[in-house]
Chain A
């Protein structure tokens, strides 16, 4: 096909241009991540940064406390999806495979976080933690449940830890969606969730 030929020509021409224009070889050294490590209590730094990025964090002992807290904080939530074992809020109405239009009614999504990053309050979640990629974004409120022992220091460790993840999609979530596009005034709740609450569970959840 002419179009395919055209495409291959573009590719080959670009690569040829690069080969003739690129600089001589520059080495790629190993990253010594220890030089970026500062002594600190990781949970404390994490909690501080979750607040700093507009999120909320709550320290709990077990999943029962998570449920109790959710019921208090989100008493008005009707449509809820929980992807976390042991946190069944009994009101899951929306089937997880549904259209964007249906998911738009979602009040709350509860998701298990794989690990948290102390330096920026971000939590890594991927396809295996939800069965519809839209859920963490379209839900009005998002709750993330995280084991305390899964808090790591910085993005160097984080990228090593998620590196090579097998799923098709993953995301670092650092607080709720936000914007400062109107005269630099921070508004929490832009096109995604209005709030993100991270529960840090003391023991295995």
Chain B
């Protein structure tokens, strides 16, 4: 059923337009720099990260208890709580609630979980209209594309493309990509949707076990516009989103927006406990592979993730290959350690979409050891899959050379000479993929051992 994601191939397509890749790279690096500035303004930033990681470690160690506590409190507040084992169950639950309330049009604020479950298409097939109300999400929805980034869904789109998209779908005039004009037109368009929708769907950033409340962070105010203008609120929550108490919220809220966009906090941090009288509030707690990931001791820390996207913004591979090249809802480094847990066969190329530089782990606000996990997935994937004979032979030879110092001496001298005297076009074919977009460096005049003999052992 699943077609394999071929990241190198998809990245190659993205790289066909050099100017565009450079623009994408710079746009994300700018966000990374804003994150650095914001982090530097906080006294005790590193302690804050450690604290966040410790809270997550603790929460996972008592996850069942906290989920039950959360459920009980939410029910006391007057919310309905549902449990979904997988994406299909989640979609069916949401549809059943909508059908029971005769809802035909829903306004949705950003939720990567519903993307993960493919909720929009499921509901649309059943005749329910779904309107994404985050501007970036609306843009990709109109373009019939998935988001390419979890915080900035349309980061891959140029303003001129958005201009044409709006012209086609919202009948705006062509403005050459005037961001203010386009945002105002989207505001009018979405305002009308809020006022006519029958239900609101939101994600959940944090579920507080002690209070049964859910917290949603937005900049646009779209989650609240939807929830408060319709009689039905359905919140979809991954089961790893639960935290023990309100005081822990303080830790994560300080980290989240700063890591995501360099803002000190999002414009709105909305805490929903109970529906307003006469309204309904439903919370759908979703597993969809998460308890499985929890079982894998090497990879369970990936469940700490608070979906800030900092690892994407800093990743040299993500910035130059684009979110769509990963073929998974959550792209970039974090997606590359989450997705193999769901389907090793399908997402087997993703852990290789990394230089293992470790920058993702350095910026992660909850200290997930992302690059170590990427490396561990590589080992599992390499063991499982039949490697090409050429690669196997190469690895064998390399292993032999490195474990025999005398052979190594001879080989390194020979290799240096070979690179120096072989014509460039031959090297480029010999070492095929590596030299596709870069020059093979010229070796120095001496090997290290030769240099050392001349200079240190007189």
Q: Which residues on A are within 8 Å of B, measured CB to CB? A: 3, 7, 10-11, 13-15, 17-29, 31, 33, 35-38, 49, 52-54, 100-101, 104, 117, 119-122, 132-134, 136-138, 154-160, 162-165, 167-185, 187, 189-193
B64 touches A18 (CB 8 A): yes
Can you list 9 A-B contacts (CB < 8 A)?
A10-B84, A31-B250, A36-B42, A119-B264, A154-B254, A169-B274, A179-B135, A181-B136, A184-B155
Q: Say which size band chain B's interface belongs to.
A: 35 or more
Q: Report the bound CA distance from A21 to B44 in whole Å.
A: 33
Contact between chains at B61 and A174 (CB < 8 Å): no
Hey, which chain A residues are within 8 Å of B294, CB to CB?
A: 17-18, 21-23
| Interface presence of B77 (CB below 8 A) | yes
Q: Report A-chain residues with C-beta under 8 Å of the C-beta of B179.
A: 182-183, 185, 187
Known contacts A17-B291, A122-B265, A172-B265: A156-B247 contact under CB 8 Å = yes
CA distance A165 to B225 in the complex (A): 22
Partner of A138, one of B229, B253, B263: B229
**CB within 8 Å: A-B pair count:** 263
The residue on B at minimum CB distance from A30 is: B247
Q: Nearest residue in A to B287 (C-beta to C-beta)?
A: A14
Known A-B contacts: A117-B265, A193-B221. Give 15 more (CB < 8 A): A7-B82, A10-B85, A18-B291, A19-B64, A21-B294, A26-B54, A36-B47, A100-B228, A155-B254, A156-B250, A159-B246, A174-B268, A181-B153, A187-B183, A191-B221
Rounded to whole angstroms, the CA-CA distance of A93 and B429 in the bound complex is 78
Across the interface, which residues of B come within 8 angstroms of A134, CB to CB? 224-225, 228-229
* Nearest neighbor of A13 in chain B, beta-carbon distance: B85
Complex Cα distance, B159 from A157, in Å, reads 41
Q: From B3-11, B186-194, B375-383, B448-456, give the one contacting chain A.
A: B186-194
CB-CB under 8 A for A182 and B60, given A177-B219, A191-B225: no
Give the residues from 237 to 287 in chain B that come closer than 8 angstroms, CB to CB, to chain A.
239, 244-251, 253-254, 261, 263-276, 285, 287
Whole-angstrom distance between the alpha carbons of A166 and B80 in the complex? 19
Is B287 in contact with A190, judged by CB distance below 8 angstroms?
Answer: no
Residues on the A chain within 8 Å of B245, using CB:
163
Which of B136, B264, B292 is in CB contact (< 8 Å) with A120? B264
Residues in A with CB closer than 8 Å to B273 are 167-169
Q: At the interface, yes or no: B139 with Cβ under 8 Å from chain A?
A: yes
- In angstroms, Cα B183 to Cα A162, docked, is 33
Q: How far is the CB of B100 from chain A (nearest CB, A)?
A: 11
Interchain nearest-CB distance for B185 vs A (Å) = 11
List chain B residues, Cβ under 8 A from A38: 43
B64 touches A15 (CB 8 A): yes
A177 near B265 (CB under 8 angstroms)?
no
Contact indicator B43/A28 (Cβ below 8 Å): no
Task: Find the A residue at minimum CB distance from B263.
Answer: A53
CB distance from A138 to the nearest CB of B (A): 7
In chain B, positions 54-81 with a C-beta closer than 8 Å to chain A are: 54-55, 57-58, 60-64, 67-68, 77-78
Chain A residues, CB < 8 A from B254: 119, 154-156
Q: Does B336 contact A (CB under 8 A)?
A: no
B61 touches A181 (CB 8 A): no
Q: In the complex, are the beta carbons of A7 and B83 less than 8 A apart?
A: yes
B401 close to A (CB within 8 Å): no
Q: Across the interface, do B246 and A160 meet the contact criterion of CB distance under 8 Å?
A: yes
Query: Complex formed: what's the CA distance from A7 to B90 in Å?
Result: 11
Q: How far is the CB of A26 from chain B (nearest CB, A)?
A: 4
Hey, what's the 0/1 contact readout for B194-237 against A, CB within 8 Å counting as 1? 11000000000000000100000001111011011100000000
A133 to chain B, nearest CB (A): 4
The reply to whether A31 and B211 contact each other, CB–CB distance below 8 Å, is no
Q: Quick one: which of B160-202 are within 8 Å of A by CB?
A: 162, 177, 179-180, 182-184, 187, 190-191, 194-195
B92 to chain A, nearest CB (A): 10
Q: CB-CB < 8 A to B54: which residues of A?
A: 26-29
A10 touching B89, Cβ below 8 Å? yes
Closest beta carbon of chain B to A76's beta carbon, Å: 18
A190–B250 contact, CB under 8 A? no
Q: A22-B61, A138-B229 are in contact. Are A122 and B187 (CB under 8 A)?
A: no
In the assembled complex, which residues on chain B have CB atoms less than 8 Å from the CB atom of A27?
A: 54, 58
Residue contact A177 to B264, C-beta cutoff 8 Å: no
Q: Is the CB of A10 within 8 A of B135?
A: no
B228 — which chain A residues lie within 8 A by C-beta? 100, 132-134, 137-138
From residue A12, how far is it (CB to closest CB) to chain B in Å? Answer: 9
Query: Whole-angstrom distance from the CB of A1 to the nearest CB of chain B?
Result: 12
A28 in contact with B58 (CB, 8 Å)? yes
CB pair B264–A183 under 8 Å, yes or no, is: no
With known contacts A23-B297, A53-B263, A169-B274, A181–B152 Cβ distance under 8 A: yes
**Nearest-CB distance from B262 to chain A (Å)?**
11
A170 to chain B: closest residue by CB = B271
Q: Which B residues are in CB contact (< 8 Å) with A154?
A: 250, 254
- B31 at interface by CB-CB < 8 Å: yes
| A contact residues around B67 at 8 Å (CB) | 15, 18
Q: Is the CB of A22 within 8 A of B64?
A: yes
Task: Tell me if B133 counts as interface (CB < 8 A to partner A).
Answer: yes
Residues of A close to B222: CB separation below 8 A: 190-192
What residue of chain B has the Cβ atom nearest to residue A100's Cβ? B229
Taken residue by residue from 24 to 44, chain B's Cβ proximity to chain A (1 for < 8 Å, 0 otherwise) reads as: 000100110000000000111
Return chain A residues, CB-CB under 8 Å to B229: 100, 134, 138
| A interface footprint on B431-455 (CB within 8 Å = 1, 0 otherwise) | 0000000000000000000000000
User: Roughly how many angstroms separate A115 CA and B64 CA in the complex, as a whole number?
Assistant: 35
Other-chain contact of A168, B77, B154, B177, B220 (Cβ < 8 Å): B77
Q: Are A133 and B224 in contact (CB under 8 A)?
A: yes
Known contacts A26-B54, A156-B247, A168-B273; A182 and B221 CB within 8 A of each other:
no
Shortest Cβ distance from A169 into B: residue: B272
